[in-house]
Amino acid sequence: MGMKTMPGPDELDAFVVRNTDVISAPEQAALRATRLLVAGCGSVGGSLVEPLVRLGIGSVVLADPETFDLSNINRQACLLADVGQSKAEVLARRVADINPYVDVRVFPAGLTEDNLEDAFDGTTVVFDAIDAASSPWVKYRVHELASERRIPVVAGFDFGGKSVLYVFDYRRKRAAPFYGRASAEAHREGRLSECLKWLGYTHFPADFLPIIQDRMITGKPWPQVAYCVLAMGALGTRCMVDLAMQRRVPHVITFDTHMAMRTPLGRLVERLKIPGRLLGALAAARRAAKARAARAEVPSEADDQLGTDPTMRLVIEAMARAPSPHNCQPWRFVVTGPREIAIGWDVSRALDAVDPDDFAIAYAIGCAVEAAATIAEVSFTQTGSGDYRAPGYVAGTLVVKALHTEGQVHRRGILERRATYRGGMYDAPSGDQLADRLDGLVQPLRARAAMRELPPDLVRRMALEGARGLFGRSDYVDELLRHIRIGRREADRDPTGFTAHSLSLGPVRARLLSLLRSSLLLRRLAFASGMAKLMAHTSTSAIGSASRFVLVTTSDFSPEGRVDVGRAIMRVWLELTRQGLACQPIDFAICTNESRAQILAMFNLPSTERPVLLFRVGKAASTQLPRSPRLPAHSFCHCVPEDRARASVRSGDAIAAPAEV
C-alpha cells in the first residue's frame, strides 16, 4: 500500500538519510543547491534525472521537444502509458512522484533561441543531450552561453555498451565552445561530421565500430541499450556531485560494460581489433553518400508485399526464420486475402542431390507453419497435394487470427534463438519429464519424439559412414559447395546456405573450400586424394562430445504427414531451445535404409516408424551460436487477386506463380 499522507517538508532529511557517509554533508548541501539543466530528455539526458533526484538534487530544468514512442521503451524512463506524451513533462511528473519538494521547470518545446536565456536562469550545470543531427545550432548556442557564464557542460554519448561523458568545464577559464574543436559555421550549416569532431576516435569501442560502418552505409537507426543508459546515469550522477563541489573532473569519463565482462585476454583482443575496424568505419564514411543513393534507387514495392497489417508482417517474418535443407529457404508465401497465406515453394531452390524426392522441402514447409503458430493463433488447411514440382504448388492455406498476447516476448525470443549448433557440447541431464513432454508435443501430429542417452562414439561412426557415402558423390559435393558463402560479401549478395562461421570453419579451411568451388579440376584432384574422407571426418567430429540424442519419426508418410512431421520437428527444436539446450540435426546417421533401421532399434521404436531427423542435444560449449544468413521476409511474399486465389485454394488446385511486384 502507498503512503496515506504526503510527507511534509520537515521530513526532507528522511528522503536521503541512507546517503549518509557515502555522500558527505557538504556534498548533500551542494546537491540541494544545484540547478541542473537537462537539454534533451531521451535515453542519454533522461538517464540521470531519476538517480539525481533520489540522491537529493534541489532543482532540475527539463527541456525536450519530443514525445515518447514505443521504440523508447527499451531504454528510456517511460512506461507504455507515457507513449505519445511529452518527454519533459513525463519526467517532471516522475520527479514529483519521487520527491514533490524538488523545484522543476519544464520546456516541452525544447530549447530555442527565444527561451535559452530563460532556461539558463539560475542554472549551475548543464547536461547536453541535444541531438546534433536535428538541432546543431541550438547545441552550439548552449555551449556558447555556458562558456560566457562560466557554467560547466557535460555531454553524453553511448557507443553500444560504452558510456562516455565529455566534460567541458568552462568555469576555470572562458574557453571556446567545445574547446574550439567544432566551429559555429559547421553548426549553422548542419555539417554533422564537423559538428562532432570533438568526439575523437579513441573512445570508440571495437565492437561498436562495425555498427558505425553499417549505419553509415544503411542509414538504419543507431542502437541504444538499457544497461549502457543505466551506466550513463551512474557516471553522470557522480559527475554532478563533483561538479557541484567545484572539483576538477577529467575531460572524458568512460565505462565500457562489454569490456568489464571480458577476461584480461579478451580485453586485449578487443583492443587489437580497433585499428582495422576504425579504418573500415572511415572507409564506410567516405562511401556512405553513394550507398544511400543506391538504396534510393531500390523500388519500395518489394517491401509493400508484406502488407500494412503488422500482424501479417510479424507472422511472415517468423515463418522466414524456419529451418530448411542447406538453408535454401525455399518458401513461397502467397497472400490470398486478409490474413490468409497460401504456402508453397520456389522450385528453383530444389536440392536434387540431397533431397531428390523433395521430402525435406515438405518438412521445411511444416517448420514454417509451426513458426507462425509459435507467435500467433493460426489454422492451417492442407491441400493434400504431393506433386511438389507442379507449377505453383500449394501445400495449404494458413489463416492468421491474432498474435498470442501471453508470453509473446519469450515466444519470439525462442524462435529467434533457435539455431543449428555444430560445436562441442556438454551433457545436460534432463530426466524423463522432458522426454515425455517432447513426445506429447508431437503426438497430435501423428509423429513421435524419443530422447535417449546413446554411446556418442557409436552414433559418430554411423554418421561418419553416411557422410563418407555422401561426400563421395560429386553431385552432392557440388550442390553443397554452391550453398557455402565464403566471406561477408557472398553472404550479403545471396543470404542463403551456410557461412564458414556457421560451419565452424577457420580461415584456412574456408579458403580451401573457395578454391575447390572455383576449379572443377582441382576438386577432382582433391577428392581423388581423399578429400571426401577429410570432409566427412570434419563434419562429424563434434558428435562425440554429447551423449543425449532426440529422434523425430513419423508413421504417416502421406503429403499431409510430411508437412505435419515438419511441424513436429519445429516443436521439438523450439522446446529444446526453451530448455536452454543446443541442437544439431544429424542427417548423416539416418541417410540409408540400414542406418534408419539401426537407429530405430537403438531408440526402441517399431519398424513402422520412419526416422526423419536425429538431434544431438546438450549445453553449448561455446558462448556464441553461429547463425546462417537469412533472406528478407518480403522476398518470399507474393500477391494474387483475392477472388482467384481463394477459389483455387478451396478447390485444391495449384496457384499459378504470380509475377513479381
Residue 297: predicted pLDDT: 46
Q: Please answer whether residues 585 and 615 qualify as being in contact, where contact means their C-beta atoms are separated by less than 8 angstroms.
A: yes
Do 617 and 648 fall into the same domain?
A: no
Do 179 and 226 fall into the same domain?
A: yes
Cell of 545: 562430445
Closest by Cα among 591, 587, 578 to 422? 587
Burial class (CB in 10 A: 0-12, 13-18, 19+), 593: exposed
Cell of 410: 519469450
Q: Please answer whether residues 478 and 524 qualify as being in contact, where contact means their C-beta atoms are separated by less than 8 angstroms.
A: no
Total residue length of the chain: 661
Tell me the DSSP string of 600-657: HHHTT--TTSEEEEEEEEEEESSS---------GGGGEEE--HHHHHHHHHHTPPPPP
HSE (side-chain half, CA atoms, 13 Å) at 221: 5
Do 348 and 446 fall into the same domain?
A: no
Tell me if 270 is assigned to some domain. no
Tell me if 505 is assigned to some domain. yes
CATH of the domain at 232: 3.40.50.720
Burial readout 329-358 (b: 16 or more C-beta within 10 A, e: otherwise): bbbbbbbbbebbbbbbbbbebbbebbbeeb
Q: Please answer whether residues 577 and 615 qualify as being in contact, where contact means their C-beta atoms are separated by less than 8 angstroms.
A: no
Q: Please answer whether residues 559 and 386 qualify as being in contact, where contact means their C-beta atoms are separated by less than 8 angstroms.
A: yes
Q: DSSP 3-state assignment of 108?
A: coil
Q: Which residues of the chain have pLDDT under 70?
A: 1-4, 284-307, 623-626, 639-661
Tell me if 569 is assigned to some domain. yes
Do 47 and 155 fall into the same domain?
A: yes
Tell me if 530 is assigned to some domain. yes
CA–CA dist 497, 513 (Å, integer) = 14
Q: Please answer whether residues 425 and 620 qualify as being in contact, where contact means their C-beta atoms are separated by less than 8 angstroms.
A: yes
Residue 640: predicted pLDDT: 60
Radius of gyration of the chain (CA): 30
Burial class (CB in 10 A: 0-12, 13-18, 19+), 431: exposed
CA–CA dist 587, 16 (Å, integer) = 64
CA–CA dist 107, 86 (Å, integer) = 10
Tell me if 430 is assigned to some domain. yes
Question: Grid cell 557422410 — which residue?
Answer: 467
Residue 648: predicted pLDDT: 44
Do 386 and 515 fall into the same domain?
A: no
CA–CA dist 530, 658 (Å, integer) = 47
Q: Tell me the torsion sign for CA atoms 234, 237, 239, 241.
A: negative
**Residue 527: which domain range?**
420-627
Residue 641: predicted pLDDT: 52
Q: Tell me the torsion sign for CA atoms 609, 611, 613, 618.
A: positive
CA–CA dist 127, 114 (Å, integer) = 19
Residue 461: predicted pLDDT: 93
> How is residue 174 annotated by DSSP?
-
Tell me the DSSP string of 270-296: HHHHHHHHHHHHHHHHHHHHHHHHHHH
Give the pLDDT confidence of 390-412 residue by residue, as tens digits. 988 999 999 999 999 999 989 99
Burial class (CB in 10 A: 0-12, 13-18, 19+), 93: middle
Do 82 and 41 fall into the same domain?
A: yes
Cα three-residue angle 548-550-556, rounded to 5 degrees:
165
Do 403 and 428 fall into the same domain?
A: no
Strands 125-128 and 103-107: unpaired
Burial class (CB in 10 A: 0-12, 13-18, 19+), 6: exposed
Cell of 494: 545471396
Closest by Cα among 635, 645, 575 to 398? 645
Cell of 68: 515518447
CA–CA dist 188, 199 (Å, integer) = 19
| Alpha helices (H) in 443-552, listed in sequence order | 456-471, 474-482, 488-493, 507-518, 520-528, 531-540
Strands 582-585 and 498-499: unpaired
Residue 3: predicted pLDDT: 62
Strands 59-63 and 35-39: parallel
Cα three-residue angle 41-47-48, rounded to 5 degrees:
100
Tell me if 494 is assigned to some domain. yes
Do 155 and 168 fall into the same domain?
A: yes
Tell me the DSSP string of 340-393: EEEEEE-GGG--TTT-TTSHHHHHHHHHHHHHHHHHEEEEEEE-----TTSTT-
Using CA atoms, how far residue 195 sits from 141, 281, 435, in Å, is: 13, 18, 60
Tell me if 293 is assigned to some domain. no
CATH of the domain at 561: 3.40.109.10
Cell of 586: 544429424
How many independent structural domains does the chain possess? 3
Q: How many C-beta atoms lie closer than 10 Å to residue 508's C-beta?
A: 8
CATH of the domain at 648: 3.40.109
Do 578 and 612 fall into the same domain?
A: yes
Do 320 and 444 fall into the same domain?
A: no
Do 410 and 424 fall into the same domain?
A: no
Do 184 and 314 fall into the same domain?
A: no
Tell me if 1 is assigned to some domain. no
Q: Max Cα separation, the chain?
A: 91
Question: Grid cell 507467435 — which residue?
Answer: 375
Burial class (CB in 10 A: 0-12, 13-18, 19+), 61: buried
